[in-house]
Amino acid sequence: MTATPNYDDEFDAIVVGAGLSGTAAALTMAKDGLDVVMLERGPSPGSKNVFGGVLYTPRIRELTDLSDAPKERYVAKKTYSMLSDAGDETSMSIAPAAWREEPHNDSWMVLRRDFDEWFADQAVEAGATLITETTVTDLIREDGTVVGVETDRPNGTLRAPVVVLGEGANSLVSEGAGLKRQDDRDNVAVSAKEVRKYDREKLEDRFHLDGEAGLAAHYFGDGAVGDAVGGAFLYTNKRTVSIGVVYSIEDAAHGERTPDEVLDQFKQHPAVAPLVRGGRMVEYSAHAIPEGGPDSMPDLVHDGAVIVGDAAGLVLNSGIHLEGTNMAVESGFHAGQAIADALDRGRSDAAALESYEQRLEESYVVQNLDHYGWFMDTAAEEKEFLFEELPHALGDATEEYFRMDDRPKDEHVSDAKSHILNASGGWFGMAKKAWKFRKMLS
Amino acid sequence: MSKAAPSVPDTPQPEDASIEDRLYTVKYKDSGESHLGIEVPGICAETCTTYECTNVCPADVWRAEEGGVPTIAYENCLECGSCRFACPHGNVEWEYPTTGNGVSYKHG
């Protein structure tokens, strides 16, 4: 932004942050004919944003034409692997044939810089205004109602009936204005990630890929992130591989290794090293992720303001499902619709914006968060079993089960069982654990 | 986690990049002014014994020092926010870099 035009009172809504949640809100409102401005602190949308990443696209595909979007590869295969720090790997691989057919289960590997910039362009084409390199520093309130924002630009005050707070995991404005409190560190994860570039043919050979097909690989256990609640990931893009670790800041705070060292250790695991050797690191990145689930969601609706995306704590980690960006888009969409409805009636108070919260509660976003809300707490309670004892026991059990020597197989099977039983605390312990984790697959 | 990486035969050694090599891949526009700070240095010097800011930082921004007050290499910062959440004393001052400064990812 070279000049500073006076935009005060020009807009129906101000969107703080042109990430996926903010842009979804802006696009929804712009399509409804509202005048919307997106304020992005980075040099371009996406330039401050990091995720794993797989983006699930049903809502985006409804909002706009996804065919020209900068997508990397669709998810043709998902793998889940338990890694022990002794070097064992026990994996499950899932590749339904239907995933190779359009629309590929709406599951795409993307890189955020390209994708977010494209998505923000869709909002601009629909009539929204985008202002970059502008940081919102505070909210303006009158009689308790949010009536605009302060920015770091000269004469940078902007007023509008509604402010959409899509600031991401570090929601300084919402917190500063008392709309939410900062999450506790046991509800937040830290992620460190590398993007590594390979010759495309080499990458496709290495991961058995063809065309646009891609692999989404997830790793758990002390071979992935050491003595911590968390996991690691590897996603194949067109010419690059995204590889990273995600684990609780509570564990990181007490850990002997920093996140970059945990990432190094993950890369050296015998299940991972052959997949990431060679190539060239083209980017290193890191971010915090709010994983507190339904209990740490703030109030989403305020007089003159709504909170969307990561700022609203909308991240799902059920051990099996790792979602956030789709929920960000969904929340932005519902917020945009609720705002359009409220402004139609000439209102922007919390009661009029309440339908955002209702829509979100009826959507899969809050339903899933509620359904899997137990998981992160239980995973933390059962940390030693889940992330240390189980991956080792599975490694030892499978080694025993398949052992070739002069003993009959039934003896090996019996020994293999005892590895699992010992780790689980016997039949009784196993029944208790099975009960605790019974909802993981349902 | 105390064990070293497992030594398993026929496992290649992937690139073990230094933090400097890693940060070299990231574009950083320096405003010349730190967006990070310490609310009350005395808390770091006298109360804190664990320096958890240094444990969670993925970019070697926070460095423990003799005398107890960590130094801050803010120009390494990836704006992840981990230190903000990690400090058990709530002693981390954390602002967004202004006017487009700070880290800028080309992939993300």
Nearest Cβ partner of A252 from B82, B95, B107? Answer: B82
ipTM: 0.96
Is the pLDDT at A416 greater than 70, yes or no? yes
CATH of the domain at A306: 3.50.50.60
* Distance in Å, alpha carbon of A281 to nearest chain B alpha carbon: 8
Q: Which chain B residue is nearest to residue A50, measuring alpha carbons?
A: B108
Q: Which of A269, A289, A309 is the last residue of a domain?
A: A289
Is A307 in the same domain as A162? yes
- Which chain A residues are closer than 8 Å to B22 by Cβ? 194, 260, 281, 284
> What pLDDT band is residue B67 in, cutting at 50, 70 and 90?
confident
Strands B71-72 and A316-317: unpaired
Is B82 in contact with A223 (Cβ distance < 8 A)?
Answer: no
A319 in a domain, yes or no?
A: yes
Which domains does chain B possess? Answer: 33-98 (3.30.70.20)
Query: A274 vs B106: CB contact, 8 Å cut-off?
Result: no
**Domain limits for position A336:** 13-65+111-182+293-362
Q: Report the range of poorest mean pLDDT among A4-18, A320-334, B35-49.
A: A4-18
| CA separation for the pair A239, A234 (Å, rounded) | 13
Q: How far is Cα A412 from Cα A276, in angstroms, rounded to an integer?
A: 34
Interface probe for B, chosen from A16, A40, A44, A47 (most Cβ of B below 10 Å), is A47
Name the pLDDT band for B2 (thresholds 50, 70, 90).
very low
| CA–CA separation, A202 and A233 (whole Å) | 20
Provide, as residue numbers in chain A, all residues whose Cβ is less than 8 Å from the Cβ of B70.
none
The shortest CB-CB distance from B107 to any of A172, A270, A283 is to A283
Task: Confirm whether A213 is domain-assigned.
Answer: yes
Task: Report whether A168 contacts A45 (CB < 8 A).
Answer: no
Task: Please list the residues that pair with A235 across neighbouring strands.
Answer: A216, A242
Per-residue pLDDT band at A141 (split at 50, 70, 90): very high
A6 within a domain of the structure (yes/no) = no
Contacts of A194 in chain B (CB under 8 A): 17, 22
Q: Which of A41, A255, A274 sits opposite B1 (nearest CB)?
A: A255
Burial of A181 (0-12, 13-18, 19+ CB in 10 A): exposed
Give mean pLDDT, residues A12-26: 98
Model pTM score: 0.96
> What pLDDT sits at residue A2?
43
More confident residue, A276 or A376: A276
Output the furthest CA–CA distance in chain A (Å, rounded).
85
Question: CA-to-CA distance for A152 and B102, rounded, in angstroms?
Answer: 14
What does the pLDDT look like over A357-408, one tens digit per residue? 999 999 999 999 999 999 988 999 999 999 999 999 999 999 999 999 999 9
Measure in Å the smallest separation between the Cα of B20 and chain A Cα atoms.
11
What is the pairing mode between strands A73-83 and A107-109? antiparallel
Does residue B81 register a pLDDT over 70?
Answer: yes
Contacts with A238 (C-beta within 8 Å, 6 or more apart), sequence order: A72, A73, A200
- Specify the pairing of strand A305-307 against strand B62-63: unpaired
Give chain B positions within 8 Å (CB) of A191. Answer: 80
Do A189 and A240 fall within a single domain? Answer: yes
Residues of chain A with Cβ-Cβ distance to B15 below 8 Å are: 267, 277-279, 281
The reply to whether A26 falls in a domain is: yes
Q: Does the residue A177 lie in any domain?
A: yes
CB-CB neighbors (< 8 A) of B104 in chain A: 42-43, 47-48
Residues of B in contact with A284 (CB under 8 A): 17, 22-23, 25-26, 78
Q: Which among A85, A118, A135, A184 is the top mutation candidate for probing chain B, defined by the most B β-carbons within 10 Å of its own β-carbon?
A: A135
Which candidate, A180, A133, A137, A127, places its Cα nearest to that of A158? Answer: A137
The CATH number linked to A228 is 3.30.9.90
Asked whether the beta carbons of B49 and A248 are under 8 A apart, the reply is no
Cβ atoms A13, A162 nearer than 8 A: yes
Mean pLDDT of chain A: 96
Q: Is residue A314 part of a domain?
A: yes
Mutate to test the interface with B, among A40, A41, A130, A289 (most CBs of B within 10 A): A41
Of A134, A226, A283, the CB nearest to B105: A283
Q: How far is B4 from chain A (nearest CA, A)?
A: 8
- pLDDT band, residue B1 (cuts 50/70/90): very low
pLDDT at B6 over 70: no
Distance from CA of B91 to the nearest CA of A (A): 13
Does one domain contain both A158 and A34?
yes
Verify that A208 and A348 share a domain, yes or no: no
Q: Pick the last residue of a domain from A362, A388, A411.
A: A362
Q: Does A83 map to a domain? A: no
The pLDDT of residue A3 is above 50: no
Q: Which residue of B has its CA nearest to A135?
A: B98
Same domain for A344 and A304: yes
Show which of A241, A268, A289 is a domain's final residue: A289
Distances in whole angstroms, Cα of residue A389 to Cα of each of A377, A417, A419, A423: 18, 14, 10, 6
Based on the fold, state whether residues A314 and A175 are members of the same structural domain.
Answer: yes
Residue A35 lies in a domain: yes
Q: How many domains does chain A have?
A: 3
> Chain B: residue nearest A49 by CA?
B108
Whether A49 sits inside 8 A of B86 (CB atoms) is no
Residue B5's pLDDT band (cuts 50, 70, 90)? low
Do B56 and A270 lie within an 8 Å CB cutoff?
no
d(CA A219, CA B5): 16
Please indicate, yes or no, whether residues A396 and A427 belong to a single structural domain of this protein.
yes
CB A166 within 8 A of CB A324: no
Looking at the structure, tell me whether residues A156 and A238 fall in a common domain.
no
A117 and A242 belong to one structural domain: no
| Cβ within 8 Å, pair A190-B82 | yes
Q: Is the pLDDT of residue A217 over 90?
A: yes
CB pairs under 8 A between A and B: 198
Does the structure show a pLDDT above 70 at A321?
A: yes
* Domain shared by A335 and A312, yes or no: yes
Residues A207 and A170 in one domain: no
Say whether both A204 and A192 belong to one domain. Answer: yes
Residue A424 identity (one-letter amino acid): S
